């Protein structure tokens, strides 16, 4: 006789590739109903844009249909309810499933171009997407899309966004034209709140926010008003840019916004004459994942005309953009699942103590770890050789603060004034092993 346990057990072999657990233990199976031999249920995924939702549906149908006594199977695909958006009165974010910030702490890395291409790549997947240009002082969307001084309308006290190739877009640049925004901080925050929450976005799968560079009032306003689901940090493979990546990670972690990953932009170009791929900024000795413990969502090449998004098919020929969109879907899904146990880090008796989720524990001498700091100020980005002179580090150095960063790293500020060191858990695990071998 069919029962719920039998049906659920038949699907326990179906594993989410990103989360590494089966869909039953993750709680994805909802509203399971049995009527004789007729079985129906909902598979509630983390996001509507899950890249493997069709595969999940097919495998669930096959698994349940193979059970003795099952005559029909009806599988409905759903997604978790969206994050509650703060605020009262007019708030058009209520119908937005996920809000993503695309950020950089350094200008000139192509952040706005990446944000726009990400949004368009999602539109090409059939998703409903909005793009907000939140850079008040240097709006980029008018130039990227070739839209200058358009007629922006109000309807029922809501700003009507422009629709470009299926993408809803809004920018203060549409209202200001070529005039500079000579505004003080509180007024800027007011404009951001209005354009964010009073634009008639309608129902969206994603709202992509092109953040202004930096870590000031505007960024805090957006975080408070939009209740971000995650942030993407755009950088280029330069040591100076990588220092700013650390600042961006710390900014979002301090306001409890998960960092979904890093986009490494302008990594390479293919020569028209020789056909070889060149790396104008060089190739680092360590990847961003090794450096910060964050996933690299995409490595984007330099392509002529990539900043011209007025064409309907802009970016459609770049496979890297499609992979970027897919990786963002996966990252959002992982962030919405209840976080697994994280390592615990503390300082006592002259050692940095780490207790791992599996129960193992490690003690690391502060001096050794400070000397091994992998940040761009301590390690040459391209040769991998240490810049830091160990003799300049006090033997009695101690950590001043240790801030865990999500489930991927910990940021340590030291008593010698150094505060840009971000140590991934993988780095610390391997470093602890090296210390143990050296002391054996």
Is residue 192 domain-shared with residue 68, that is, in the same domain? Answer: no
Is residue 254 domain-shared with residue 305, that is, in the same domain? Answer: yes
Is residue 377 domain-shared with residue 234, that is, in the same domain? Answer: no
Q: What's the pLDDT at 271?
A: 82
Give the domain extent around 424: 344-439
Q: How far apart are CA 59 and CA 17, in angstroms?
A: 14
Residue 397: give its domain's CATH number: 3.30.2020.30
Segment among 268-282, 299-313, 314-328 with least mean pLDDT: 268-282
What is the pLDDT averaged over residues 230-245?
Answer: 75
Q: Is the pLDDT of residue 253 over 80?
A: no
Domain-located, residue 354: yes
Query: In terms of C-beta distances under 8 Å and separation of at least 24 residues, what long-range contacts does 333-338 make, across chains too?
Result: 333/16, 333/18, 333/19, 333/45, 333/46, 333/47, 333/50, 334/18, 334/19, 334/46, 335/229, 335/230, 335/258, 335/260, 336/46, 336/47, 336/80, 336/229, 337/19, 337/26, 337/46
Query: In terms of C-beta distances under 8 Å and separation of at least 24 residues, what long-range contacts does 220-225 make, across chains too?
Result: 220/255, 221/189, 221/192, 221/193, 222/101, 222/134, 222/192, 222/196, 223/101, 223/252, 223/255, 223/257, 224/86, 225/86, 225/87, 225/93, 225/192, 225/193, 225/196, 225/197
Structure confidence at residue 179 as a pLDDT band (50, 70, 90): low
Is residue 96 domain-shared with residue 54, that is, in the same domain? Answer: no
Residue 221: give its domain's CATH number: 3.40.50.300
Q: How far apart are CA 205 and CA 49, in angstroms?
A: 8
Domain-located, residue 85: no
Domain-located, residue 157: yes
Is residue 251 domain-shared with residue 319, that is, in the same domain? Answer: yes
Q: How far apart are CA 144 and CA 142, in angstroms?
A: 6
Domain-located, residue 264: yes
Q: What's the pLDDT at 187?
A: 60
Is residue 358 domain-shared with residue 378, that is, in the same domain? Answer: yes
Is residue 130 domain-shared with residue 68, that is, in the same domain? Answer: no
End residue of a domain, out of 289, 310, 336? 336
Is residue 330 domain-shared with residue 185, that is, in the same domain? Answer: yes
pLDDT in tens, 79-124: 876 655 554 445 678 888 889 999 887 777 889 999 999 999 999 9
Q: Is the pLDDT of residue 177 over 90?
A: no
Is residue 289 domain-shared with residue 369, that is, in the same domain? Answer: no
Q: How many domains does the chain have?
A: 3
Q: What is the Rg, in whole angstroms, of the alpha carbon atoms belonging to the chain?
A: 24
pTM above 0.75, yes or no: no
Q: Is the pLDDT of residue 244 over 60?
A: yes
Q: What's the pLDDT at 140?
A: 84
């Amino acid at each position: 006789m069919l029962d719920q346990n039998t049906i659920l057990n038949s699907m326990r072999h179906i594993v989410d590739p990103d989360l590494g657990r089966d869909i039953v233990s993750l709680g994805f199976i909802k509203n399971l109903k049995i009527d004789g031999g007729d079985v129906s249920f909902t598979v509630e995924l983390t996001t509507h844009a899950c890249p493997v939702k069709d595969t999940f549906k097919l495998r669930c149908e096959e698994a349940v249909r193979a059970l003795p006594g099952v005559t029909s199977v009806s599988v409905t695909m759903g997604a978790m309810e969206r994050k509650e958006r703060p605020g009262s009165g007019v708030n058009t974010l209520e119908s937005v499933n996920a809000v993503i910030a695309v950020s950089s702490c350094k200008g000139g890395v192509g952040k706005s171009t990446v944000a726009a291409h990400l949004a368009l790549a999602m539109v090409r997947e059939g998703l409903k997407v909005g793009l907000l240009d939140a850079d008040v002082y240097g709006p980029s969307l008018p130039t990227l899309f070739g839209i200058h001084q358009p007629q922006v309308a109000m309807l029922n006290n809501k700003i009507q966004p422009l629709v470009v190739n299926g993408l809803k877009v809004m920018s203060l640049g549409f209202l200001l034209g070529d005039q500079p925004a000579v505004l003080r901080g509180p007024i800027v925050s007011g404009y951001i709140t209005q354009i964010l929450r009073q634009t008639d976005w309608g129902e969206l799968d994603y709202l992509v926010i092109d953040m202004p560079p930096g870590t000031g009032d505007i960024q805090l306003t957006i975080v408070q008003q939009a209740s971000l689901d995650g942030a993407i940090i755009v950088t280029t493979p330069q040591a100076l840019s990588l220092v700013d990546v650390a600042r961006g990670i710390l900014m979002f972690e301090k306001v409890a916004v998960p960092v979904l990953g890093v986009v490494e932009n302008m990594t390479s170009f293919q020569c028209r004459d020789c056909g070889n791929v060149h790396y104008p900024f060089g190739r680092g000795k360590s990847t961003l994942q090794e450096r910060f413990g964050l996933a690299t969502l995409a490595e984007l090449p330099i392509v002529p005309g990539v900043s011209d998004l007025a064409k309907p098919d802009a970016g459609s020929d770049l496979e890297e953009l499609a992979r970027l969109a897919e990786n963002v879907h996966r990252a959002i899904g992982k962030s919405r699942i209840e976080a697994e146990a994280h390592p615990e880090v503390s300082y006592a008796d002259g050692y940095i103590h780490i207790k791992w989720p599996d129960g193992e524990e490690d003690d690391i001498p502060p001096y050794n770890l400070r000397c091994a700091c992998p940040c761009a100020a301590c390690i040459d980005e391209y040769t991998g050789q240490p810049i830091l002179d160990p003799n300049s580090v006090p033997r009695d150095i101690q950590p001043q603060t240790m801030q865990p960063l999500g489930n991927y790293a910990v940021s340590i500020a030291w008593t010698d004034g150094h505060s840009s060191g971000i140590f991934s858990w993988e780095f610390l695990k391997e470093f602890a092993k090296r210390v143990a071998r050296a002391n054996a």
